Amino acid sequence: MSAAELSKLSTVERHKLVAVPIDGQGLKTLLEAGMIWLKTNQQTVNSLNVFPVPDGDTGTNMVLTMQAAFDEVATSGTSNVGQFAHSIARGALMGARGNSGVILSQIWRGFARALDDHPTMDVKLFADALEEAKTTAYKGVVRPVEGTILTVMKDIATQATVSVQRTSSFTEVLWDIVETANASVERTPDLLPILKQAGVVDSGGKGLMLIFEGMWRFINGDSLDKAVTEVLPLSDMDLENALETVEEGQDYEVVIDFTPKSTFNLEEYYEELSKIGTSIQVGEGDGIYRMHIHVPLDSRYLPIDHTMGLGTIQKVMMENLVAQMDERKNNKNPKLKLTLVQPDQIAVVAVSPGSGLSRIFASLGVAAIVEGGQTMNPSIKELLASFEDLPTDKIIILPNNKNIIMAAKEAASMTVKNVAVIPTISVPQGLSAMFRLIPDNDFDETVEAMNEAMTDVETGEITTATRTVEIDGVQVENGQVIALHNGKLIASTQTIEEACEALLIAANTIDYERITLFYGEDIQLSHVNDLADKIRTIYPSHEIEVHEGGQPHYQLIISIE
Amino acid sequence: MAETENKHNELGSILIQKSAIASIARQSTLQSYGVVGLAPKNLIENIRQLFNNDAKYGVEVEFDHDGLVIDIYIVVEYGTRIKSITNSVVKSVKYNVEKTVGLPVRRINVHVRGLRISNMD
């Protein structure tokens, strides 16, 4: 079931699914609820990292480990809770990712061992299993570091043992556990100095707490698909697409940047805002908060008044959505639709020199675009920023320019993610490589396939010389049109037509099937169309395509394949 | 290869012994989850360990023009995913050595010499 489906169930239905004593199927539902709640809060957990410590994406790693555990039992109809738990443990072991994932798999392993051949699990056995889970988790390391997921697991186990003396209600025991886990997570910075320095709590411990919280929320009838205190990194705020979900009567969009007071309570803030409007998002970055909301015309000042009491407002942006929607409909440059990658999929970052090319890359499944090209090389920081926030650690970069390959490699070496740079020196090479992308395939195989595909294409570039020079035996006068074949200067001519002709001959076009022209911002479409017609008369059996590239300086980028 | 690595600044030189680097690598390995102990590299080391505690036990450090090459010999807890564990050993040793010593680490080879079975499932 999806998060939304699980969340829609009534309390009665939920209790029926998780009947005490709990059998295999009941445990499956609990596992799923824990996993979904962790997934919902994945980014929050990821953001707790003390960069650059090892194990960069705790949230993602834990979600993937839980997912592997769940996949193992997803179709199982076993009602014996002991056998069921062993399957979960096996799945978690096989799919364990990162430090926190390995610890989580040990926790499940211990949990399963305690249940062994028991057909069902009552609260007493649940507490015993948690105790065994803790013991097993601690066995995995010589020098356990306190203030981590291990400490949180220890506190959970201790609490469970105490709670079952008092009550036999599963819900109550679970609630005690969640409360204890929460307090334990809050204490982690006192135990581990590096957390205190970074001003965060332990991410693994938080993840473990969320799993139990998810189970409790499910039984208690709470929703699992919306994080209550969701604070996104600023770069993740989806303000552009928020426009597409404009509701009737919500005419104004208000965005407020503010620094909250120390007493600021995000949960309460969300609650107040939800009384005023819709499409609420709160993001955080560099110490400031950014709030986004859609409100009706007459309450457009309410969010400002409300926020004013809670912190210092730095900036307010207000826009009339109705007007903006109209403008959007007439806009010829719609926002890029980048591919949303799922955890564990391969994400591609492409460097693109023009808006048209960006759109083409986006349509081929690129997850992030960095603007840059010949005269505007993107910085290592920009490259890093483009993929650091993607929810996967399999990244492929297409630099699409000789001068950017170094920066891309540098960026690749500065992250904990698994990054491959395909050394594409031109846009056509990058596009050609994109055709081989299958996001769910093996990473190394994909990189190899893309590397091979890259050279399947011949690249031509037509531009204007900016000085008088002689290179590669070609004499060039300032202002002449020059043609480059695979980055090498091959001709200098008076017109673009001549340059194209020389280029197509140099590239052995006759041996290929398709010619694609990407025209830049310095050339008229009518001119390009004329040019395409001329090429068609010379190469009548070739397929000829014209696309807007939007790149500066280069009138044409030509792909021959 | 030299037993020490030389670094110079305007006031003089800094010599870092292999065994110092080995201790750091050893500490962070033992703090890595899933590692339950270090293992001897060879028979001689096995015997030497009987008489005194060697900082380099289970760890081998070499200098090379481009940086450090560290070999680590470990025993892993049975029933854990070895691939994930060795990955985090590599990451945390690299991080800790580079942070504290300031020399680039070029390679880290992790050798899993055995498994400790504390529970059969």
Q: Sorting pLDDT into bands at 50, 70 and 90, what band is A330?
A: low
d(CA A53, CA A48): 11
Inter-chain CB proximity A140 and B80 less than 8 Å: yes
pLDDT at A15: 82
Q: Give which of A289, A288, A305 is closest to A280, Cα–Cα.
A: A289
- For A8-25, the pLDDT digits (tens) are 788 888 888 888 889 999
Angle at A538 between CA A533 and CA A542, to 5 degrees: 80
Q: Sorting pLDDT into bands at 50, 70 and 90, what band is A2?
A: low
pLDDT at A241: 46
pLDDT at B112 over 90: yes
Residue A121: Cβ-neighbour burial (10 angstroms; 0-12, 13-18, 19+): buried
Q: Which of B31, B81, B112 to mutate to test the interface with A (most CBs of A within 10 A)?
A: B81
pLDDT at A475 over 80: yes
Residue with the larger pLDDT of the pair A531 and A156: A156
Mutual angle of helices A123-139 and A98-115, in 10-degree steps: 130
- For A364-411, the pLDDT digits (tens) are 889 888 888 777 778 777 888 888 888 888 899 999 988 888 888 888
- Give the nearest chain A residue to B35 (CA atoms): A141
d(CA A435, CA B23): 49
pLDDT at A207: 95
B91 vs A86, A139, A416: nearest CB: A416
Which residues of A make CB contacts under 8 Å with B?
52-55, 86, 89, 93-94, 96-99, 101-103, 105-106, 109, 112-113, 136, 139-143, 145, 416
Residue A238: Cβ-neighbour burial (10 angstroms; 0-12, 13-18, 19+): middle
Mutual angle of helices A443-454 and A427-434, in 10-degree steps: 140
d(CA A369, CA A225): 29
pLDDT at A51 over 60: no
pLDDT at A304: 87
Q: Which of A93, A99, A111, A202 to mutate to test the interface with B (most CBs of B within 10 A)?
A: A99
Question: Phi, psi at residue A337, to the nearest 5°?
Answer: -105, 95
Q: Sorting pLDDT into bands at 50, 70 and 90, what band is A332?
A: very low
3-state secondary structure of B104: coil
- For A118-150, the pLDDT digits (tens) are 999 999 999 999 999 999 999 888 888 899 999
Q: Sorting pLDDT into bands at 50, 70 and 90, what band is B75?
A: very high
Kind of pairing between the strands at A458-464 and A418-421: unpaired
Do the interacting molecules here have an ipTM over 0.85?
no
pLDDT at A310: 83
Q: How many CB atoms lie within 10 A of CB B4?
A: 14
Mean pLDDT score of chain A, rounded to an integer? Answer: 84
B33 vs A53, A97, A102: nearest CB: A102
B121 vs A113, A139, A416: nearest CB: A113
pLDDT at B36 over 80: yes
The percent of residues above 70 in pLDDT, for chain A, comes to: 90
What is the distance, to the nearest Å, from the Cα of residue A319 to the centroid of all Cα atoms in its chain? 28
Mutual angle of helices A203-220 and A170-191, in 10-degree steps: 160
Which residues of B make CB contacts under 8 Å with A?
30-37, 77, 79-81, 84-85, 87-88, 91-92, 95, 118-119, 121
pLDDT mean over B27-34: 90
User: Which position has the token pair 């738990």?
Assistant: A85
Inter-chain CB proximity A109 and B121 less than 8 Å: yes
